[in-house]
Amino acid sequence: MKHELPPLPYDYNALEPYYDEATVRIHHDKHQAAYVAGWNKAEEELEKARIAGDYSLIQNWERQLAFQSSGAILHALFWQSMSKHGGGEPKGSLLEQIKKDFGSFENFKKQFSAAALAVEGSGWALLGWMPSLGKLYILQVENHQKLTMWDIRPILALDVWEHAYYLKFQNRRADWIESWWNIVNWENASKMLNYEL
């Protein structure tokens, strides 16, 4: 079965003024769509290889599979990680878990911003839940899949690829990160954490 581009969960202009309509439109309709297509392509090529019994390009297609599927999956979470009713601080069990694992919400926010700002090249800052340890971690992901940890389920994703912010913020990644905090969808992150608990 083919993977499909999930519809944007709100209007293109819903996140204004913190995230501009033009970037949201291109980001979802072009960039995310390309990752979904790339994921399908990798799976098709791996199927062809199985049928032909020819694994001479296995390294390429396994690499593509990891990169494209991770891109598609993280973008889906990225849109869910934002809401026009977002911002502020998390509540309930998510806030308690953040305090437990980072000391305070302020500590968490500082570490997350620093991680996002310092991603080398293209990548993401993620908040992830490790069910086996019952612990939250902040991950700094390069591309869509490098520098990750096994057994972590991402519950909040911030895209810091240049395509995510360059139209409005140009090279000012720190300004994009600051703007993003105003639209963080804590309700969704809580829902994803509680789903795991």
Q: How far is the CB of 145 from Mn ion (least distance, A)?
A: 13
The dihedral built from the CA positions of residue 82, 109, 69 and 192, taken in this order, carries a sign that is negative
Orientation angle between helical segments 105-117 and 92-102, nearest 10 degrees = 70
Q: Which is nearer to Mn ion, 42 or 157 (CB)?
A: 157
Nearer to Mn ion, 22 or 58 (CB): 22
Q: Are 176 and 165 in contact (CB under 8 A)?
A: yes
* Distant-in-sequence, close-in-space partners of 76: CB < 8 Å, separation ≥ 6: 6, 32
Q: How far is the CB of 160 from Mn ion (least distance, A)?
A: 9
Q: Name which of 15 and 164 has its Cβ closer to Mn ion.
A: 164
Comparing CB distances to Mn ion, the nearer of 138 and 164 is: 164
Cα 96 to its chain centre, rounded Å, is 23
Residues paired with residue 127 on neighbouring β-strands, in sequence order: 138, 156
**Least distance (Å) between residue 78 CB and Mn ion:** 7
Least separation in angstroms between CB 106 and Mn ion = 27
Comparing CB distances to Mn ion, the nearer of 101 and 159 is 159
Q: How far is the CB of 143 from Mn ion (least distance, A)?
A: 11
Structure tokens that stand for 165 in this block: 């912010």
Q: Could you list the residues that contact Mn ion (CB under 5 A)?
A: 159, 161, 164
Residue whose Cβ sits closest to Mn ion: 159
CB 182 within 8 A of CB 85: no
